[in-house]
Amino acid sequence: MDNYPPTARTKVRRLPKRASYDRLAVHGILDEGFVCHVGFAVDSQPYVIPTVYARADETLYVHGSAASRMLRTLTQRVPVCITVTLLDGLVLARSAFHHSLNYRSVVVIGNARLVDDPEEKLRALHWITDHVAPGRWQQVRAPNALELKQSSVLALPLAEVSAKIRSGPPVDDEADYSLPIWAGVVPVTTQLGRPIDDGRVAAGAPEIDLARFTRFAPRIR
């Protein structure tokens, strides 16, 4: 299927023209982002926690400390909502009311499961590491037994999913277009700076290759 079927929980009702259920669009947003926000409730108290993640086919993997409240709670398969948002621009209108943002966002709803199979867990940590820094897993020391015990991974299927996207200039009231006020879009991009080593890099260690960060290849300064 090319689209995720909207459900009662994922159907976009506010400004539905901005909704997208296109599978490739959803994957593109998830693959470009670095941080997801995980929402859940404990004894009626809501929490939203930022963390790193990775997508592998139709599964979203989320990483955290085994001792964290989020991981301890979600291993009980409680309902969870995971969001990823990319900011593309500041939309400045002639009126305060019509100011907005250009953005791409994804919402995933479901019940996460604890990844307890050792091989799947190691693969997921590999994917999460390489999602942040492509090719890094092959260059670094693999997790040891204690580190694996201290880390938890949750898996959430991409079943109930929707995206919401805004692009383009502001839309003002017709009467406001004659006002002497600048209006338009200020683009926002994520850029990589030049690497700064930690001061203890061993002699002969190769420099980090920024070209592997293909998401930001045109925007390295």
Cβ–Cβ < 8 Å for 188, 48: no
Supply the pLDDT for residue 18: 81
Supply the pLDDT for residue 220: 39
> What does each of the 221 residues of the chain score in pLDDT, given as a tens digit?
699 888 888 888 777 778 888 999 999 999 999 999 999 888 888 989 999 999 999 999 998 776 677 766 766 777 899 999 999 999 999 999 999 999 999 999 999 988 989 999 999 999 999 999 998 999 999 999 999 988 889 999 999 999 999 999 999 999 999 999 999 999 998 888 888 999 999 999 998 888 877 666 544 34
Cβ–Cβ < 8 Å for 26, 158: yes
How many angstroms from the chain centroid is the CA of residue 90? 19
Supply the pLDDT for residue 176: 98
Supply the pLDDT for residue 218: 46
> Is 220 inside any structural domain?
no
Distance CA 39, CA 30 (A): 17
> Is 8 inside any structural domain?
no
> Is 219 inside any structural domain?
no
Distance CA 9, CA 24 (A): 20
Name 197's Cβ contacts closer than 8 Å, sequence gap at least 6. Answer: none
Instruction: Give the H or E element holding residue 23.
Output: helix 23-32
> Is 21 inside any structural domain?
yes
> Is 1 inside any structural domain?
no
Cβ–Cβ < 8 Å for 102, 91: yes
Name the one residue in this structure whose structure tokens are 């693969």: 123
Overall pTM surpassing 0.75 (yes/no): yes
Tell me the pLDDT tens digit for each residue of 30-67: 999 999 999 988 888 898 999 999 999 999 999 877 66
What are the structure tokens assigned to 20, written together? 């997208």
> Is 193 inside any structural domain?
no
Specify the number of domains making up the chain. 1
Cβ–Cβ < 8 Å for 89, 166: no
Supply the pLDDT for residue 91: 98
> Is 137 inside any structural domain?
yes
> Is 212 inside any structural domain?
no
- Domain that residue 168 falls in: 16-188
Supply the pLDDT for residue 16: 73
Closest CA to 155 of 188, 128, 183, 186: 128
Buried b (16+ CB within 10 A) or exposed e, 88-111: bbebbbbeeeeebebbbbbbbbbe
Provide the CATH number for the domain around residue 172: 2.30.110.10
Identify residue 123 by its one-letter amino acid code: R
